[in-house]
Amino acid sequence: MDDAIRKADVLIEALSYIRTFRDRLTVIKLGGSAMEDAGTLRATLQDVVFMETVGMRPVVVHGGGKAIDQGMAAAGLKPRKVRGRRYTDEATLAIVVRVLQEICTDIEAEIRRLGGRAVSMIAGSLRCLFGEKLRLTGEDGSPVDLGRVGRITRVDYALLSDLCAAGVVPVIASLALDERGDWLNINADTAAAAVAANLRAEKLVLLTDTPGILLNRTDQASLLRSLDDAGCRDLIGRGIIEEGMIPKVEACLESLRAGVRKTHIIDGRLRHSLLLEIYTDRGVGTEIVLGP
């Protein structure tokens, strides 16, 4: 009986959050172990199905990560990074597109197996991200060539909104079409931020392989539960937020400035971390907000 009462208490705690977020859009970026381990991915997608079932409107955005590296290795290609981004020539792009198409359709199929409704936004009229080549300049002012790497200029808001309103989970690969209808490789954190911004989402949640933002990378007790934009800039300047965490933080801040209400960086390795972050009083990761 005590166990049953505890379960009822959990449901009561979640009730206010279910009411608050009903019909609200949440963009979830899958990355790290949340994608690479089958059991972890299944638990994460169970969370997504729960969210859709209780009236929230989740949108899933994903990249390819290690699966792309493995595909390149099988083809005898070595990954090359330029300014922290994967250099994407035509041979690399072909692998990126193939791998992301496979992942996208696999995620759709798993959501359906779990009892949800989903559609992979990667074929024909379901393509929803559009962009142009990303142009960077070096310290000397000269152009930096990234190959077929892009930035998003437009998101098909109407299509995604209609799907979400119908109780269907859009699953979006981090690829965009240029003006000629050719693919561009997009950083997955950047893609998720652009989708959240264009949809004016309630939340952007980035799943990664750390508990959130830590003051000390070796001490999980140093997790920061909340951080504003000034705090983010301070920690980046002090080298506490570094390497791969920087683009995640920048993606959060960019989406907040575009009208997203709240952003979260959470541990995708933790079972049901999505539900714990959204539907409990304490949460499990770092919430990033704009300061006063």
209-264 tens-digit pLDDT: 888 999 888 888 899 999 998 999 999 989 899 877 888 899 999 999 999 999 99
Mean pLDDT (whole number) for 266-274: 89
Average pLDDT, the chain: 89
Which of 199, 190, 291 is closest to 246 using CA atoms? 190
Rounded to the nearest 5 degrees, what angle is found at the Cα of 15, between the Cα atoms of 61 and 249?
Answer: 35
Contacts of 140 (CB under 8 A, 6+ apart): none
- The pLDDT tens digits of the residues spanning 150-208 come to 999 999 999 999 999 999 999 999 999 999 999 999 999 999 999 999 999 999 999 98
Which two structure tokens, joined as six digits, stand for 278?
Answer: 């959204």
Instruction: Give the type of residue at 98.
Output: R
Q: Please give the domain boundaries of the chain with CATH numbers for all domains.
A: 20-289 (3.40.1160.10)
The C-alpha atoms of residue 139 and residue 129 are separated, in whole angstroms, by 30
Instruction: Please give the Cα distance from 195 to 47 (Å, whole number).
Output: 20
Summary count for the chain: helices (H), strands (E): 10, 16
Cβ(131)–Cβ(153) below 8 Å: yes
Query: Which amino acid type is present at position 143?
Result: P
